[in-house]
């Protein structure tokens, strides 16, 4: 082992360990960095500059930024829209009936709509300037999870994403939940499509109560409904199995125009759209739900709507949804006081069109939200988005275009366990660090990061690592390993990088080059060339990209601070 590989021997090297490192940091105010790492898929030089221009001081800038983000329609996102429009996707604008005609009844590929929705999700995740909105879209896809690869869900998935989740992501919860209940994707995924009469299927109703609204925290499994303890506002504190069963009765007959043999044999009963089929509704029996009767023979859809109303005004629902929102944006262990205050906003505005935006504003601007020490660990998807954003990448996946690069990328993402729309059970991807820091997830995330800088489409690198580096250091003599590593660390993480890790990365990048010796980044692109006797010149461009992959595997990069 030569001296180079033992950094302890290098401690006297002022050029690397001296104060110059701190001085070269051009980090913006820490609040901008914290807000953008936490409330977006990653801070970029541009988003940091925009944040800084929003007001005279940090608090004013934060309020202005949050308000801007919560009115996404007013943010010009034409660059991102153009990328998607130019991608040549063919299924994303199809109506539900068209998706059904082409991809269910017709011979078009059943999975194509899902794959394109996923590709668009990836583009928006890293390119859209409506970052809070895109994070909320992800949140609701988790909250109202359906398994996208399901045989019946995949062909209609663009409808679920475009018409059910996205329009309501900052809107009204009651409106959204009814659209979810009527959506073809959910009607298939949780089987309500085939729930009929007295032999109802309880799958949807159970998850509606347990996951979508009140939460298992207030589940009193087998007690008689009138023995559920009383809670606030004269409502029962929670629900029992009997509430689940009666809710299921209320939703019988909410189904899909799927050409079922009991429907009229006309094309309009085979469009894939929502259908309330009264013959299947358990209309004659009275139901008892959350402490109140639902009378027999109510109007069409009335029983289900009553169930949704009662759920959406219930304090347990407000707490359950707010707890999850706070877990997404603030901390794995949501502070109880913030849950309570956010839930109060949620309930006050349960009929307001922008209920969710109001709740989110309350959460993002709460003092607890960006307190130093509060930490969220990035999930693998967020790791990928951050790496793409911070390299100004404009990755536009082409599903079905073969293994390189998009099949490879998606395969690696899938192995992390966090590929979009691929969580089979209805609870959605977990959102606490303990579930995302297993050996498997971390190892697979680093595998993804090792591949990322090497991905090429038509000869062009998906992440322009080398060209960004050359732009940043136009003069050859500036291109020392220390300068390059510092520039990238500032871009990827900000100023707070463990100094020993920094030195380690510099040592790997420079190999046997002297500390003040520039690297030859124009030598034999794209990889560099063989130079076994002089390692600093051995595949220097490939080594720069590997250094980038390592930086994206740093503890500092795993955190949304």
Partner 1 sequence: MKRRTLLKGCGAAAGMSVLPVAAWFNPFATAAGTQNDVLVYCFLRGGIDGLHLLAPVSGPERAPYEMRRHNMAIPEDRLRPLAGHWGLHPRVGGAPGDAIGVTPKWLHALYNQQRLAIIQGAGMPTVVNRSHFDAQAFMDLGTPGSKSTSQGWLARYLAVASGLPDPLLSSAFGFAGVQPMALMGDDSAFTLSNAQEFRLDGFHWSWNDTNPGIAGHQGAHHQLYPMWLGEASDLAQSGRLAAEALAYLREIDFRTFDPEERPEGYQPEGGADYPSTTLGTQLRNLAQLIKLDTGLVAATVDFGGWDTHEGQGMPNPGNPTHYDYFGNRIEEFSRALHAFYTDLSLSAGGDFMQRVSVVVLSEFGRRVRPNASSGTDHGYGNVMMALGGKIQGGLHGEFPGLDESSLFQGQDLSAAVDYRQILAEALVRRLGLSAPALNQVFPGMGSYQPIGIFQN
Residues 484 to 523 in contact with partner 1, rule: CB under 8 A: 498, 500-501, 503-505, 508, 511-512
543 is a contact residue toward partner 1 (CB under 8 A)? yes
- Alpha-carbon gap, residue 266 to 183, rounded angstroms: 21
- Residue 12 in the binding site for partner 1 (CB under 8 A): no
* Residue 221 interacting with partner 1 (CB under 8 A): yes
> Is the C-alpha dihedral spanning 518, 493, 423, 39 positive or negative?
negative
DSSP states of 148-211: TTSTTTGGGHHHIIIIIIGGGTTS-HHHHHHHHHT-HHHHHHT-GGG--GGG---HHHHHIIII
- Structure-block tokens of residue 61: 């800038």
Nearer of residues 14 and 191 to partner 1, judged by Cβ? 191
Q: Using CB under 8 A as the criterion, what x/- string covers residues 100-119 for binding partner 1?
A: --------------------
Handedness of CA 337, 343, 346, 347 (dihedral sign): negative
Q: Which stretch binds partner 1 (CB under 8 A): 101-109, 119-127, 200-208, 230-238?
A: 200-208
Closest distance of CB 471 from partner 1, Å:
21
Helix ranges (H only) for 90-130 are: 96-99, 112-127
Binding map of partner 1 across residues 436-455, x = CB under 8 A, - = no contact: xxxxxxxxx-xxxxxxx-x-
Taking the least distance from each CB to partner 1, the nearer of 203 and 352 is 203
Which C-beta is closer to partner 1: that of 94 or that of 543? 543
Note whether 559 binds partner 1 by CB under 8 A: yes
Residue among 134 and 210 whose Cβ is closer to partner 1: 210
For partner 1 (CB under 8 A), the number of binding residues is 84
Lay out the site mask for partner 1 across 154-193 (x = CB under 8 A, - = otherwise): ------------------------------------xx--
Verify binding: residue 203, partner 1, rule CB under 8 A: yes
The CA distance from 487 to 14, in Å, is: 18
Q: Does 229 bind partner 1 (CB under 8 A)?
A: no
CB of 361 to partner 1, least distance (A): 29
Question: Least distance in Å: CB of 374 to partner 1?
Answer: 13
State the minimum distance, in angstroms, from the CB of residue 202 to partner 1.
5
Q: Is 538 in the site for partner 1 (CB under 8 A)?
A: yes
Half-sphere exposure of 361 (CA within 13 A, CB side): 18
| Smallest distance, partner 1 to C-beta of residue 182, A | 18
Q: How far apart are CA 364 and CA 338, in angstroms?
A: 11
Interface positions, 416-435, toward partner 1 (CB under 8 A)? 416-417, 424-425, 427, 430, 433-435
Choice between 95 and 415, CB closer to partner 1: 415
Contact between 336 and partner 1 per CB under 8 A: no
CA atoms of 31 and 36, how far apart (whole Å)? 8
Separation of alpha carbons 270 and 104, rounded Å: 10
Binding mask of the shown chain, residues 342 to 381, with x at each position contacting partner 1 by CB under 8 A: -----------------------------------x----
Dihedral sign for Cα 69, 27, 388, 419, please: negative
Residues 344-381 as b or e (16 or more Cβ within 10 Å = b):
bbbbebbeeeebbbbbbbbbbebeebbeeebebbbbbb
Q: In terms of C-beta density within 10 A (0-12 exposed, 13-18 middle, 19 or more buried), how is residue 120 classed?
A: buried
Torsion angle, CA of 77/79/81/85, rounded to 10 degrees?
170
Q: x/- site string to partner 1, residues 263 to 302, per CB under 8 A?
A: -----------------x----------------------
- The single residue among 29, 197, 298, 335 that binds partner 1, judged by CB under 8 A, is 197
Verify binding: residue 6, partner 1, rule CB under 8 A.
yes
- Span interacting with partner 1, options 15-23, 202-210, 308-316, 346-354, rule CB under 8 A: 202-210
Burial of 445 (0-12, 13-18, 19+ CB in 10 A): buried
Alpha carbons 404 and 305: distance in angstroms, whole number: 48
């Amino acid at each position: 082992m030569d001296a180079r590989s033992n950094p302890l021997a290098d401690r006297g090297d002022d050029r690397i360990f001296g104060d110059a490192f701190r001085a070269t940091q051009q980090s913006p105010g820490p609040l901008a960095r914290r807000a953008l790492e936490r409330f977006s898929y990653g801070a970029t030089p541009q988003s940091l500059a925009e944040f800084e221009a929003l007001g005279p001081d940090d608090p004013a800038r934060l309020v202005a930024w949050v308000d801007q983000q919560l009115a996404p329609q007013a943010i010009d996102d034409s660059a991102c829209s153009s990328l998607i429009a130019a991608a040549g996707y063919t299924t994303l604008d199809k109506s539900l009936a068209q998706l059904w005609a082409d991809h269910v009844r017709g011979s078009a590929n059943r999975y194509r709509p899902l794959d394109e929705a996923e590709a668009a999700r990836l583009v928006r995740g890293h390119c859209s300037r409506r970052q809070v909105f895109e994070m909320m879209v992800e949140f609701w896809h988790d909250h109202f999870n359906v398994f996208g690869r399901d045989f019946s869900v995949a062909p209609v998935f663009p409808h679920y994403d475009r018409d059910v989740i996205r329009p309501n992501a900052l809107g009204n919860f009651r409106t959204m939940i009814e659209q979810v209940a009527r959506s073809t994707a959910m009607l298939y995924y949780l089987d309500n499509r085939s729930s009929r009469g007295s032999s109802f299927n309880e799958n949807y109703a159970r998850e509606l109560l347990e996951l979508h609204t009140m939460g298992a925290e207030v589940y009193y499994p087998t007690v008689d409904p009138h023995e559920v303890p009383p809670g606030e506002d004269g409502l029962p504190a929670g629900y029992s199995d009997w509430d689940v069963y009666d809710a299921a009765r209320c939703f019988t007959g909410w189904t899909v125009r799927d050409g079922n043999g009991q429907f009229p044999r006309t094309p309009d009963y085979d469009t894939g759209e929502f259908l309330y089929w009264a013959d299947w509704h358990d209309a004659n029996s009275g139901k008892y739900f959350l402490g109140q009767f639902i009378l027999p023979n109510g109007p069409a859809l009335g029983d289900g709507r009553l169930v949704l109303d009662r759920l959406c005004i219930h304090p347990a629902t407000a707490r359950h949804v707010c707890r999850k929102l706070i877990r997404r944006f603030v901390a794995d262990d949501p502070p109880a006081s913030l849950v309570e205050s956010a839930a109060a906003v949620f309930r006050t505005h349960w009929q307001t069109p922008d209920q969710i935006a109001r709740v989110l504003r309350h959460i993002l601007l709460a003092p607890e939200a960006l307190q130093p020490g509060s930490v969220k660990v990035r999930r693998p998807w967020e790791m990928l988005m951050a790496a793409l954003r911070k390299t100004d990448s404009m990755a536009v996946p082409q599903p079905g275009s073969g293994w390189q690069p998009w099949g490879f990328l998606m395969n690696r993402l899938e192995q992390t366990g966090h590929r979009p729309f691929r969580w089979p059970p209805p609870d959605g991807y977990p959102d606490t660090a303990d579930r995302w820091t297993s050996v498997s997830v971390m190892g697979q995330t680093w595998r993804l990061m090792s591949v990322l800088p090497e991905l090429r489409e038509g000869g062009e690198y998906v992440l322009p690592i080398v060209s960004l580096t050359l732009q940043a250091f136009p003069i050859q003599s500036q291109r020392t390993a220390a300068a390059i590593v510092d520039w990238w660390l500032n871009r990827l993480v900000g100023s707070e990088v463990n100094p020993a890790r920094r030195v380690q990365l510099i040592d790997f990048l420079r190999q046997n080059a002297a500390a003040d010796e520039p690297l030859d980044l124009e030598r034999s692109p794209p990889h560099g060339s063989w130079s076994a006797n002089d390692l600093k010149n051995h595949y220097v461009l490939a080594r720069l990209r590997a250094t980038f992959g390592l930086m994206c595997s740093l503890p500092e990069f795993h955190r949304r601070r």
